[in-house]
Amino acid sequence: MIVRNRTTLAHTVVDSPIGPLAVVADDAAIVAVHFPNTPLRDGEGGPRDDDHPLLRQAAEQLAEYFAGERTAFDVPLAPAGTPFQLAAWTALRSIPYGETVSYGEQARRLGDPNKSRAVGAANGRNPIPIIVPCHRVVGSNGHLTGFGGGVEAKAWLLDHEQRVRLAL
């Protein structure tokens, strides 16, 4: 078993339209989501436990999201990061479903319009993508830029949210 800060980690794998997602939880919250192109290294997410209550909850919510039945997540989260990263990730959760903001706009919302590069770096380290929607941040010209799951996955997620939003 993997222990992190006296907490046991476990993971499950969730099938999705963008590939299998490895979801990692500790005893109290979801701590990571890994894209297919950034799989768990041996032992990194603890043993697989498809019956872990938080992992089941996250898997259900992700399935609902991908089915177009969920626009917000309420599973408990515990990302590890610096105070600035945590603030950036909290700001991500305020971007409405199906909408986008630029890195500059996210920096303005954090109180310093000159920190768009720092925001980009923080978003790039977001350990809980999709649930913490870093895919909703785009370049100032509207172009899709860097994304841990790949630009194709980012495009799919944004298109999916737009389709669902229009159907609501």
Which residues are designated catalytic?
Answer: 134
Angle between the N-to-C axes of helices 116-124 and 83-92, in degrees from 0 to 180, rounded to the nearest 10: 90
Q: Which residue has the tokens 């476990």?
A: 10
Backbone angles phi, psi at 12, to 5 degrees: -140, 170
Query: Quick one: which of 36, 116, 141, 28 has its CA closest to 79?
Result: 28
**Cβ atoms within 10 Å, residue 168:** 8
* H or E stretch at 119: helix 116-124
131 CB-contact burial (10 Å; exposed 0-12 / middle 13-18 / buried 19+): buried
H helices, E strands: number in the chain: 5, 7
- d(CA 142, CA 144) in angstroms, rounded, equals 7
